[in-house]
Structure 1
Amino acid sequence: MRNKKRGLAIVASSVLAMSLLSFSTSAHTSASEQTVSKNYLIAYGQSLPKDYQTAIKKAGGEVVREIKEIGGLEVRSTNPSFLNQLNSNSIVAVNVEKSYKITDGDPAGADGKPVTLQEDSDGTYWSLQWDMHRLTNEGKSYAVESGGTKTSSGVVHKAVVGIIDSGIDASHPDLKANFIGGKNFVPAGGYNNSVPAEQGNPSDVTDTNGHGTHVAGSIAGNGKVKGVGPDLGIRAYRIFDSSGSAPTAPIVAAIIEAANDGVDVINMSIGGFDNLKYYNEGTRYNDVADVILWKRAVQYALNKKVTVVAAAGNESLNYADKKSLTDYMNAAYGDENLIYKGVAIETPGGTPGVMTVSSSNKWSRDTLAFYSNYGNSFIDVAAPGGDNGPVYDATRDLAKRDFTYRTLSTWPTNLPPNKATTLTPNYAYLHGTSMAAPKVAGIAGVIKAEHPDYTPSQVEALIKKTAFDFGKKGQDPLFGSGEANAYTALTGK
């Protein structure tokens, strides 16, 4: 997707914090640019054919990544006729690869009114965590199930959440007891050799962005801030390089890796749109290979009894209105050469088997956070992702924002303070469906700790059954089954 640059970005805009997920695109490379390198995603049958290396090489391609468990390949080629020359007998689908992106933007200009955190008398920030107060019934859920057991030698984790994101600060004082490793999927030099500082060390999951560490604190923080399961184990699957971008293949590969590692839950505070038919310079394209491999990867995880949770996205879109999604893509990213005409599919949120989470806020039981996507048969549950407060919601006046309505969590110790919202080192206020999804992943984690034999469908059913019925009575397009809650899920009360 470097050449397409279509997909989800986690960005800092003039309105939304870095945590919000948005979508960026540029035109495809012209076929006349003979030396341009493109990455392709190929979906074969359920397994790779024996001669795939030879077929790729003959067509002028180079295998970048194999995802054998789901019959997938990432391939790079400078041959403009690569697709035409590729032996497609055993190929189900192939498309130019997508790219997901994180950019920090200009936090000083974006927000510029940072707050300084004031510690409680016990040295924590518990009084500032309105989201955790609500999710845990004022901390009562911790006494029921915290996700692990403390021993003289440390914490024995009863369940583990895999976080596919920008990495985790393993040395953070609120996270280090629960961090149990992970894997880096970013190659040396970064994607397309765009980040020379990247060394390609598989064990380097250092968070150079902040997003993954904030997500991790919402799941398993245990210090000045608390997560949903303060004794849950967390594993990092770093798929964003330090420039903030990643193609599709390492993300689905990370799902496979996490499932093989035996995690109980996967959280993906990422997402984007695939399109089943679009035209660039008159040539028809599609993202079918992406859709297929997303489906296979999620199903692979489900078969391994892994609950998969994803953010709904932050474009304020009604996912059930398919025409509006295509219109949105054309308005935001299309031009006279790039025209979207097919059905748009949100991935991973729209992938079967994924629990998709919208973002609720502190001050309303009837409306979502202003940025959150929604839609019938799309949203499973909501969770607190925060916003800028009711005054901003009514006026959309940037001067009326109150950052304390966002959600507080951990920030990397290796990065300067997040001056967009907080002057205090190692903690930050962020808002977005990125912040909502890990709350549900944390709830799924403590459920698995309490009921290790539960299948993903049983975990999901319990979360939905015990959610608070916000919005219209019963299932609704904003909150799905309601706002998820750890205490009610663990106690049934």
Structure 2
Amino acid sequence: MFKDKPAAGATLWVSTATQHQRRLQRLSVTQASDAPVHQPYLDSLAARGFTVTAVSKWLNAAVVTATPEKAAPLRQTSFVQDLQPITGFFVPTRTAALPYQALYMGKALKQLKPEAIFAASLTGRGVKVGVIDAGFYDAPNKSGLQPIFGDGRLKAYRDFVNPAKTQPYSQRESLLDSHGTDVLLFMAGSDPERQVLSGFAPEAEFYLARTDHGNRETRVEEEYFVQALEWMDSLGVRLVNSSLGYGTGFDNPAENYIPEQMDGTSFIARAVQMAVEQKGMMLVIAAGNDGGNKKWRIVNTPADAPGVLTVGATDFTTWAKQGYSSIGPGFLPYLKPDVACFAASGTSFAAPIIAGLAACLLEEDPSLTPQQLTDIIKKSSHLYPYGNNYVGYGVPNAFKALELVQGFSTLWPAKETVTVEGNRFVYKHKPSLLTEENGGIVLYRKESPTVVMAQQRISLRKKRIVVKRKPKETHTTLHVGPTVVELVWE
């Protein structure tokens, strides 16, 4: 893409017939896009050894065939505005794989079907992203994060727990001081030399805040969190990820919340809601890891806040909820979590995957509001519109999300609601159509449209699925690979 057209002016570059058609439609007859590409630019490409195979005057662009290594210097050429792979991927000549071969080693990335994001060359470029966490120990030394620090895209760091700390990346106060480092890797990890990509947004700009001390747990950390939000807002940060949450387990038991207080009214929840609704900040928050805690089970705060995108965790094979992933309180008038994706060891590492996707969508359309972006990600998810308090609307699909941002949508497999008379429903399918690309067979048995009583995994080998209604069951979501059916029991 070239920066300009020096020869463009008020000249009529089109035929009389074209001029007539434009006048009929009240369009401008003289348009800069009609002017030819500046010939000296094309001559310069030829002089550099590039063969120009196509030219577009409308796009003010030329197509050349080149390896990534040979093409890269063109970015610094004075007359070049941008450089994009027209095939969707830069493929090294020595291999037929994607530019980051380890992409498919990252199960969460694979689960979200990222090909469209990479084909569009979206990397979060130019998006200001904040990460609020427990610490970023040794982050500059991680191979996957070195480009962020080396390229100057780490824009600011602040330690709200210990402001006097002079060496934030080399001084360690607790074992959790590297938690933020791991989170950052899942959002933006990129090691071109080893061809490893672990996050969607390796080229975003980052603002880091430490607000949690790993060796102690007090309510004051919620105030640190809010201070970090205000600081990030003052710097123009658009997107914030945090894997922190507060509910129980404070050093002083008197500071513990009770489950009924996870209703979006806590100090920290009100602050994040204000950040979304009044400051235009998109917040992605981990749901928490109390799903197996019978005394708690539900999301912590601020994951309970309306407006934030709360992320739970699924397994990779069936896309059912991981046992540890916190569920949404049944008493909330809105759904939590909002979406979910694979994470092997905590929702802390599911949230940054989704935040990285959000950064790419903001790069595509910076005008998106937090509400619009949240809605797009939810609508792209595999269970939508049949969300539940286990996995929300399910696993987002990056391809669908990008289409929604661009204003159009492919016809995807239809989801249907079936009213069932009686207490038995039979569903037949072809096991050969099921692959890990679309999850397995899962039943979400619900006592209301969104509140799950139990989830049930079913063997992929079964061609005939018999669903027998349980006591108090009013709705059942049947997820069979690419197909979703919502049963409403009469």
TM-score normalised by the chain length of structure 1: 0.51
Contact 2:312 2:340 in 1 (8 A): yes
Residue in 1 that maps onto 2:322: 369
Q: Identify the match of residue 225 of structure 2 among 251, 268, 274.
A: 251
Distance, in Å, in 2 between the alignment partners of 1:123 and 1:146 is 14
Partner of 2:102: 125
- Specify whether residues 490 and 183 from structure 1 end up closer, same or farther in structure 2 by C-alpha distance, changes over 3 A only: same
- Residue 232 of structure 1 pairs with residue 204 of structure 2: yes
- The correspondence of residues 26-425 of structure 1 with structure 2, limited to 5 A, is 125-137=102-114, 139-148=115-124, 157-168=125-136, 169-178=139-148, 179-188=153-162, 199-201=164-166, 204=168, 208=172, 209-223=177-191, 224-241=196-213, 243=215, 247-273=221-247, 291-316=266-291, 328=295, 346-365=300-319, 367-375=320-328, 377-386=334-343, 406=344
- The 8 Å contact of residues 255 and 301 in structure 1, kept in 2 or not, is answered as no
Does the aligned pair in 1 maintain the 2:187–2:353 contact within 8 Å?
Answer: yes
Letter in 1 for 2:244: I
Distance change in 2, residues 1:307/1:433 (3 Å): same
Tell me which amino acid in the other structure corresponds to 2:341: P
Say which SS state the counterpart of residue 272 (structure 1) adopts: coil
- When residues 210 and 474 of structure 1 are mapped into structure 2, their CA distance, relative to the original with a 3 A threshold, is same
Q: Return the offset for 1:205.
A: 5.4
Q: Quickly say closer, same or farther: Cα 1:142–1:207, change in 2 above 3 A.
A: farther
Question: For residue 388 of structure 2, what is the amino acid of its counterpart?
Answer: D
RMSD (CA atoms): 3.7
Once the 2 structures are TM-superposed, how far is the Cα of residue 133 of structure 1 from its aligned partner? 1.6
Counterpart-to-counterpart distance in 2, 1:176 and 1:207: 18
Provide, for residues 38-78 of structure 1, a one-character-per-residue CA deviation record: whole Å limited to 9, x for no partner.
xxxxxxxxxxxxxxxxxxxxxxxxxxxxxxxxxxxxxxxxx
- AA at the equivalent of 1:221: G
Q: 1:436 aligns with which of 324, 330, 350?
A: 350
CA offsets 1:313-357 (integer angstroms, 9 cap, x no match) = 111169xxxxx7xxx26xx9xxxxxxxxxxx98311012221111
1:455 matched to 2:369? The reply is yes
Letter paired with 1:234: F
**Which of 359, 382, 393 is residue 468 of structure 1 equivalent to?**
382
For residues 127 and 296 of structure 1, what CA distance do their matches in structure 2 show? 37
Structure 2: give runs of 5+ residues left out of the alignment: 1-96, 405-409, 411-490
Maintained 8 Å contact 2:122/2:360: yes
Residue by residue, what CA displacement relative to the aligned partner does 1:82-122 show, whole Å, maximum 9, x if unpaired? xxxxxxxxxxxxxxxxxxxxxxxxxxxxxxxxxxxxxx998
Distance 1:360 1:181, change over 3 A: same
- Report what 1:478 is aligned to: 390
Measure the CA separation in 2 of the matches of 1:258 and 1:130: 31
8 Å Cα contact 2:161/2:212 also seen in 1: no
Task: For residue 372 of structure 1, give the secondary structure of its aligned residue in structure 2.
Answer: coil
How far 1:453 sits from its partner (Å)? 0.7
Instruction: List gaps (5 residues or longer) in structure 1.
Output: 1-119, 149-156, 189-197, 319-323, 333-343, 387-405, 407-430
Q: Which amino acid counterpart does residue 386 of structure 2 have in structure 1? A: G
Query: Greater relative contact order (Cα 8 A, min sep 6): structure 1 or 2?
Result: 1
Report how far residue 383 of structure 1 moved. 2.9
| Deviation of the 1:132 alpha carbon | 1.0
Between structure 1 and structure 2, the one with the greater Rg is 2
Residues of 1 paired with 2:276 and 2:104: CA distance?
A: 37
Query: Could you list the per-position Cα deviations for residues 281-320 of structure 1 after superposition, in whole angstroms to 9, with x for gaps in the alignment?
Result: 9xx9x989981353034413542211011111111169xx
Partner deviation per Cα, 1:138-160 (whole Å, 9 max, x = no partner): x4421224235xxxxxxxx3212
* Shift, 1:263, TM fit: 1.4
1:200 to partner: Cα distance: 2.8
Q: Which amino acid aligns with 2:165?
A: G
Task: Note closer, same or farther for the CA distance 1:280–1:216 as it changes in structure 2 (3 Å cut).
Answer: closer
* 1:351-388 deviation line (CA, Å, top 9, x unaligned): 222111111111113x20111112353424333243xx
Compared CA separation, residues 364 and 279, structure 1 to 2 (3 A): closer
Separation in 2, partners of 1:447, 1:488: 11
Using the TM superposition, give the Cα deviation of residue 242 of structure 1 relative to its aligned residue in structure 2, in angstroms.
6.4
Query: Offset at 1:244?
Result: 6.3
CA pair 451-144 structure 1, distance change in 2 beyond 3 A: same
CA contact (8 A) 1:170 1:176 kept: yes
Tell me the distance in 2 between the aligned counterparts of 1:161 and 1:280: 35
Distance across 1 between alignment mates of 2:141 and 2:248: 36
8 Å CA contact retained: 1:468, 1:484: yes
Structure 1 pair 444–121 and aligned structure 2 pair: CA distance change class (3 A):
closer
The equivalent of 2:31 in structure 1 is: none
Q: Post-superposition shift, 1:214?
A: 1.4
Q: Which has the higher strand share?
A: 1
> Which residue number in structure 2 is paired with residue 490 of structure 1?
402
Equivalent position SS for 1:273: coil
Cα deviation digits, residues 418-445 of structure 1 (max 9, x gap): xxxxxxxxxxxxx111111112211211
* 1:455 to partner: Cα distance: 0.5
Please give the alpha-carbon distance, in whole angstroms, between the structure 2 residues aligned to 1:123 and 1:449. 20
Rounded to whole Å, the distance in 1 between the matches of 2:368 and 2:305 is: 21
Q: CA deviation at 1:487?
A: 2.6
Q: 1:279 to 1:438 in 2, by over 3 A?
A: closer
Change (3 A) 1:274 1:257: farther
TM-score (norm 2): 0.51
Q: Classify 1:280/1:488 alpha carbon distance in 2 versus 1 (closer, same or farther; 3 Å).
A: closer
Q: Count how many residue pairs are aligned between Structure 1 and Structure 2.
A: 283
Structure 1 residues 167 and 205, CA gap change in structure 2 (3 angstroms) = farther
* Percent of paired sites with the same residue: 24
What displacement does 1:206 show?
5.5
| Cα distance in 1 between the residues matched to 2:169 and 2:223 | 18
